[in-house]
Amino acid sequence: MIPINKKIILGVTGSISAYKTAELIRLLRKEQFFVQVVMTKAAKEFISPLTLQALSGNPVLENIWDTKEGNGMEHINLSRTAQLILIAPASANFIAKLTHGIADDLLSNLCLARKCPLLIAPAMNIEMWENPATQRNIVTLKQDGVVFIGPEHGEQACGEIGFGRLVNLDTITLEALKFSTNQSFKGIKILISLGATVENIDPARAITNMSSGKMGVSLAKAAYILGADVTIVAGKTTEPIPDGIHTVHAQNHIEMFAAINKNIDNQDIYISAAAISDYLPFVNNKKIKKTETTISVTLKKSEDILKAVASKGNIFTVGFAAESEDLIENAKEKILSKNIDLIIANLIHESMNQSMAKVTMINKNFEILDLPKSEKKEVAFKIMEQIHKTYSKEVLNEHNS
């Protein structure tokens, strides 16, 4: 099981983006975080403390002088029990206060007295963000070890367009999980291909497969949370890909092969979770007219991308085998024919295009580990655990040989 520390202090400051905090709390609670909200006085002008209390399940704190409970040292007590302080949204004013060590309310005191990491998600007008004073403050805080996420570029509440929007909430949640999780893959570069490829028959039609990309996205999230430097090469997927993970989009086999080749250098691990077309159609330049009762489509075998990557010999390779029968035998054959290190095998009817999956992991020594049917997010972490064990063993063996 992946060790996760789940207590987080969520600081809310005076920004119009404070209304998004309600949804952020919901996402954090969904990930089993204990969320303690601390608001500034200005934040209360944008969103009600009662709303955030109802969503977090905990009283919202703001007054440093409130001594009804404890020893009157909440700015010390709270910062000692949390694994992370997250300021979202963080206003230009609050960033300036942090830079100069000003502690005139509960939230700024908590930040000054903390022993845990501080993650800041800024949100402000583009001119405020680009102001030299704000940029100097950010440079100083980064030098002090504070981590910034965002802001995004886009339309702002004032009607202007530019950097200053609060970063995507899913990205913030992913970053919070990363700070609260054992970083077993820190320093390891992982390339993950995922989703389905789409191959044109003519300018209007194409053939593809039933893959949703959910398992691949879950693996990418798990690898990122566990500290890996993740690059995604993504085909067609119904599952949203987090904005915070570097992603290259590739629609068909040719584009995916090119993207993988371009990004494979200096990677430590390649996980081929994509449902890549095994056969490619000869493309008609003009739309096929609906004149015949039946038509024939000629297909040619495509190049095996996973086998090509494995042949390089300097990268740990993980493949998937989606089968309708003879699961173990077919998976073992793929290990041998492609010369890969680990394969994740599953029966199509038990996982493809579903939210849950039941998989069997087989290494190149044909050692087998069955995982019970679970949510793909949970399965992804267990797969990453096994990848880490197998990869670490190989690295150790190479070092000792």
Asked whether 14 and 46 are in contact (CB, 8 A), the reply is yes
Residues 219-262: pLDDT tens digits?
A: 999 999 999 999 999 999 988 888 889 999 999 999 999 999 99
Are 211 and 243 contained in the same domain?
yes
Are 103 and 207 contained in the same domain?
no
Phi, psi of 208 (to 5 degrees): -150, -155
**53 is a domain residue:** yes
Residues 169-224: pLDDT tens digits?
A: 999 999 999 988 888 999 999 999 999 999 998 888 888 888 888 999 999 999 99
Residue for token pair 């800041």: 120
Are 267 and 195 contained in the same domain?
yes
CATH code at position 254 = 3.40.50.10300
Residue for token pair 């290990």: 335
pLDDT of residue 76: 66
Q: Is 232 helix (H, G, I), strand (E, B) or coil?
A: strand
- Residue 238: closest CA among 206, 272, 277, 211: 211
Residues 342-381: pLDDT tens digits?
A: 999 888 877 776 777 888 899 988 988 888 888 888 999 9
Are 223 and 361 contained in the same domain?
yes
Q: Which of 129, 148, 179 is the last residue of a domain?
A: 179
Asked whether 10 and 88 are in contact (CB, 8 A), the reply is yes
Counting Cα atoms < 13 Å in the Cβ hemisphere of 20 gives 21
Question: What gap in Å lies between CA 231 and CA 267, rounded to an integer?
Answer: 9
Are 28 and 168 contained in the same domain?
yes
Are 79 and 20 contained in the same domain?
yes
- Residue 334: closest CA among 362, 309, 315: 362
Give the CA diameter of the chain. Answer: 84
Asked whether 291 and 300 are in contact (CB, 8 A), the reply is no
Phi, psi of 227 (to 5 degrees): 100, 0
Question: What gap in Å lies between CA 48 and CA 35, rounded to an integer?
Answer: 16
Report which DSSP code applies to 16.
Answer: G
Are 131 and 264 contained in the same domain?
no
**Strand pairing class (374-375; 356-357):** antiparallel
The radius of gyration computed from the CA coordinates of the chain, to the nearest angstrom, equals 25
- What number of residues does the chain have? 401
Q: Please give the positions annotated as active site.
A: 158
Q: Which of 132, 149, 179 is the last residue of a domain?
A: 179
Q: Is the dihedral of CA 23, 28, 29, 34 positive or negative?
A: negative
Are 388 and 249 contained in the same domain?
yes
**Strand pairing class (279-281; 246-249):** unpaired
Please name the residues in contact with 329: beta carbons below 8 A apart, sequence gap of 6 or more: none
Please tell me the least confidently modeled range out of 83-87, 104-108, 154-158, 265-269: 154-158
Residues 73-102: pLDDT tens digits?
A: 555 677 677 889 999 999 999 999 999 999
Cis before 132 (ω within 30): no
pLDDT of residue 74: 58
Are 107 and 28 contained in the same domain?
yes
- Residue 112: closest CA among 177, 175, 61, 64: 64
**184 is a domain residue:** no
Please tell me the least confidently modeled range out of 3-7, 114-118, 172-176, 271-275: 3-7
Are 199 and 292 contained in the same domain?
yes
Please tell me the least confidently modeled range out of 148-162, 267-281, 324-338: 148-162
**131 is a domain residue:** yes
Are 319 and 389 contained in the same domain?
yes
Residues 33-80: pLDDT tens digits?
A: 999 999 999 999 999 999 999 999 999 988 766 655 554 555 567 767
Q: Is 125 helix (H, G, I), strand (E, B) or coil?
A: coil
Own/partner long-range contacts of 70-77 (Cβ < 8 Å, ≥24 apart): 74/106, 75/103, 75/106, 75/109, 75/110, 75/112, 75/113, 76/113
Residues 293-350: pLDDT tens digits?
A: 888 888 999 999 999 999 988 899 999 988 888 888 888 999 999 999 999 988 887 7
Total domain count, the chain? 2
**What residues does 9 pair with on adjacent strands?**
36, 85
Range of the domain at 11: 7-179
Please name the residues in contact with 90: beta carbons below 8 A apart, sequence gap of 6 or more: 11, 13, 15, 120, 121, 122, 123
Question: What gap in Å lies between CA 159 and CA 262, rounded to an integer?
Answer: 39
pLDDT at 130 over 50: yes
- pTM of the predicted structure, to 2 decimals: 0.86
Question: What gap in Å lies between CA 256 and CA 195, rounded to an integer?
Answer: 10
Query: What angle do helix axes 214-225 and 376-400 make, rounded to 10 degrees?
Result: 60
The CB density around residue 92, as the number of other CB atoms within 10 Å, is 23
